[in-house]
């Protein structure tokens, strides 16, 4: 029987096995292009202004309240730098610096306002972080062409493994998250979302049938949980990839999830064979007539990964595997309290909405007045805030500061937040008698969240 130490050692040995660099090269090229496209789209949609520079206040990530947007010109500069870095990543040009710059820019923008949190932004940040440490520019790249680095054919398997493992975590955890009563037995929230799409051409008619949300719910759960295993084996790879294309096309059409269906369709190509990727590279070489001269790819990758680095990679994935389970340390309904909800690959899992009315009481004279939220927040922020306890707390603290600045000595802030979950009648999310200025956001369980009363469910 293996000890844990021996087991880790065998993992480390496997991480060192050599494999073709081709999948990593194609992954690098696709990632750069997709990020260029996604950043351009972001600017084109006017989101830089709407999401970053126009709002009066921003909701911060826990521990990152020091991250603030800079001026509009400054934000445009950051976007342009990020887009140039994306192009450079694709070209494999000054690769290490480009990946670091991209990672910092992207993560900075992502951290400005948590109301725009998406699992997929987190995924992109993680991929960008990992790209910094792999030699994706050592083949079919400008760096090779210009002699900045040597061309190689083989790399240690962990360099590709990290992306496969990360993608596997995304899918499998998204699948596990769907294994709950509402999703599988009640077909919620799809029973709410799908009928709203009945006007879609070709497929829209389906959503008028009651069986469809159940089919989609079960298919979605099975797809997410098992698709990685289908992609891992040659026999099932092509049919699995067809499922990937089908699934992400459907979700892309049905829901507002932007470019991420495309990101995943390209991302999973990394599971394809070395030959498949070599063919793509040969095709690209022919297409652009570049790099034929430099293809003296005889160097073997002689670099031995330091043990501390392998340990870091190992710990990174231990964290990735464990962190989404932290919700089990909190009591209460996860969907209701959202304690430990984020960073867990819980994607499009519930229909939740709320209306939060804040009351500010002057501690000196006892006069209480209500707050008109949209004087401080845009529609998206207000919508996201109204159903997430930690964001409600942030806004309460903002109001405390705001009214202190206006001369109120001791503002007390309470909230009446009526929240509906999966179409069930709205309930109060927060104890409306609690003065939120007295409460702090911590890792501890928030005792001012009222429990979800399932008996209210009458569906």
Question: What is the rounded end-to-end Cα distance, in angstroms, of the chain?
Answer: 52
Q: Which two tokens stand for residue 30?
A: 């696709």
Which is closer to another protein, CB of 215 or CB of 318? 215
Query: At its nearest, how many Å lie between another protein and the CB of residue 110?
Result: 12
Show the DSSP H helices in 259-338 as ranges. Answer: 260-267, 274-288, 307-322, 334-337
Query: At its nearest, how many Å lie between another protein and the CB of residue 41?
Result: 10
Query: At its nearest, how many Å lie between another protein and the CB of residue 157?
Result: 26
What residues pair up with 413 in beta bridges, in sequence order? 360
Which is closer to another protein, CB of 62 or CB of 246? 246
Query: At its nearest, how many Å lie between another protein and the CB of residue 99?
Result: 25
Query: At its nearest, how many Å lie between another protein and the CB of residue 235?
Result: 6
Q: How many CA atoms lie within 13 A of 222 on its CB side?
A: 8
Q: Which two tokens stand for residue 180?
A: 């709950």
Which is closer to another protein, CB of 347 or CB of 392? 347
Yes or no: say if 415 and 358 are a contact pair by the CB < 8 Å rule: yes
Which is closer to another protein, CB of 127 or CB of 177? 177
DSSP 338-396: -TT-TTS---S---EEEEEEEEEEETTT--EEE--GGGTS-HHHHHHHTT-HHHHHHHH
Query: At its nearest, how many Å lie between another protein and the CB of residue 45?
Result: 7
Which is closer to another protein, CB of 93 or CB of 207? 207
Q: How many CB atoms lie within 10 A of CB 426?
A: 14
Which is closer to another protein, CB of 72 or CB of 368? 368
CA–CA separation, 64 and 300 (whole Å):
43
Q: How many CA atoms lie within 13 A of 25 on its CB side?
A: 30
Which is closer to another protein, CB of 274 or CB of 416? 416
Q: Give phi and psi for 398, each to the nearest 5.
A: -60, -45
Q: How far is CA 118 from CA 223, 258, 378, 417, in A?
A: 20, 11, 18, 23
- Beta strands (DSSP E) in 30-119 are none
Yes or no: say if 445 and 339 are a contact pair by the CB < 8 Å rule: yes
Which is closer to another protein, CB of 18 or CB of 125? 125
Q: Give phi and psi for 152, each to the nearest 5.
A: -135, 160
Query: At its nearest, how many Å lie between another protein and the CB of residue 423?
Result: 3
- Beta strands (DSSP E) in 120-263 are 154-156
- Beta strands (DSSP E) in 310-384 are 352-362, 368-370
Query: At its nearest, how many Å lie between another protein and the CB of residue 435?
Result: 14
E strand or H helix at 421, and its extent?
A: strand 411-421
* Nearest CA-CA partner of 436 in 405, 402, 399: 399
Query: At its nearest, how many Å lie between another protein and the CB of residue 380?
Result: 4
Q: Which two tokens stand for residue 350?
A: 């519930």
Query: At its nearest, how many Å lie between another protein and the CB of residue 299?
Result: 36
Three-class secondary structure of residue 152 per DSSP: strand
Q: How many CB atoms lie within 10 A of CB 352?
A: 20
Which is closer to another protein, CB of 204 or CB of 332? 204
Which is closer to another protein, CB of 50 or CB of 445? 50
Q: Taking the CA atoms of the chain, what radius of gyration do you get in angstroms?
A: 25
Which is closer to another protein, CB of 239 or CB of 318? 239
Query: At its nearest, how many Å lie between another protein and the CB of residue 12?
Result: 34
Yes or no: say if 125 and 103 are a contact pair by the CB < 8 Å rule: yes
């Amino acid at each position: 029987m293996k000890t844990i130490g021996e087991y880790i050692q065998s993992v480390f040995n496997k991480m060192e096995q050599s494999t073709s660099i081709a999948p990593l090269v194609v992954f690098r090229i696709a990632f750069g292009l997709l990020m260029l496209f996604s950043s351009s789209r972001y600017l084109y949609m006017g989101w830089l202004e709407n999401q970053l520079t126009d709002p009066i206040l921003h909701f911060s990530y826990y521990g990152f309240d020091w991250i603030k947007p800079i001026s509009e010109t400054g934000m445009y500069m950051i976007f342009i730098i990020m887009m140039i870095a994306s192009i450079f990543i694709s070209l494999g040009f000054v690769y290490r610096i480009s990946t670091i710059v991209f990672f910092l820019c992207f993560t900075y923008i992502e951290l400005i306002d948590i109301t725009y949190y998406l699992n997929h932004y987190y995924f992109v940040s993680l991929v960008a972080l990992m790209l910094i440490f792999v030699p994706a520019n050592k083949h079919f790249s400008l760096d090779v062409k210009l002699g900045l680095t040597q061309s190689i054919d083989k790399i240690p398997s962990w360099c590709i493994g990290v992306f496969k493992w990360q993608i596997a975590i995304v899918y499998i955890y998204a699948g596990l998250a769907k294994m709950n009563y509402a999703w599988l037995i009640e077909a919620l929230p799809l029973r709410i979302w799908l009928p709203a799409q009945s006007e879609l051409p070709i497929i829209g008619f389906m959503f008028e049938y009651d069986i469809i949300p159940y089919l989609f719910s079960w298919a979605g759960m099975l797809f997410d949980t098992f698709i990685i295993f289908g992609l891992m084996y040659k026999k099932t790879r092509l049919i699995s990839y067809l499922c990937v294309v089908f699934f992400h096309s459907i979700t892309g059409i049905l829901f507002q999830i932007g470019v991420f269906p495309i990101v995943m369709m390209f991302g999973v190509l990394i599971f394809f064979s070395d030959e498949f990727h070599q063919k793509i590279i040969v095709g690209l070489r022919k297409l652009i007539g570049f790099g034929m001269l430099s293809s003296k790819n005889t160097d073997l990758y002689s670099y031995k990964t330091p043990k501390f680095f392998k340990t870091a990679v190992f710990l990174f994935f231990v964290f990735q595997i464990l962190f989404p389970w932290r919700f089990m340390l909190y009591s209460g309904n996860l969907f209701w309290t959202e304690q430990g909800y984020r960073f867990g690959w819980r994607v499009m899992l519930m229909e939740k909405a709320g209306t939060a009315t804040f009351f500010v009481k002057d501690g000196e004279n006892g006069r209480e007045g209500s707050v008109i939220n949209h004087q401080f927040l845009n529609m998206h922020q207000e919508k996201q805030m109204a159903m997430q306890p930690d964001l409600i707390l942030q806004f309460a603290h903002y109001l405390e500061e705001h009214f202190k600045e206006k001369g109120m000595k001791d503002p007390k802030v309470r909230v009446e937040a009526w929240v509906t979950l999966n179409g069930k009648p709205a309930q109060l999310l927060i104890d409306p008698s609690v003065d939120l200025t007295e409460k702090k956001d911590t890792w501890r369980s928030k005792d001012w969240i009222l429990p979800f009363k399932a008996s209210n469910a009458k569906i």
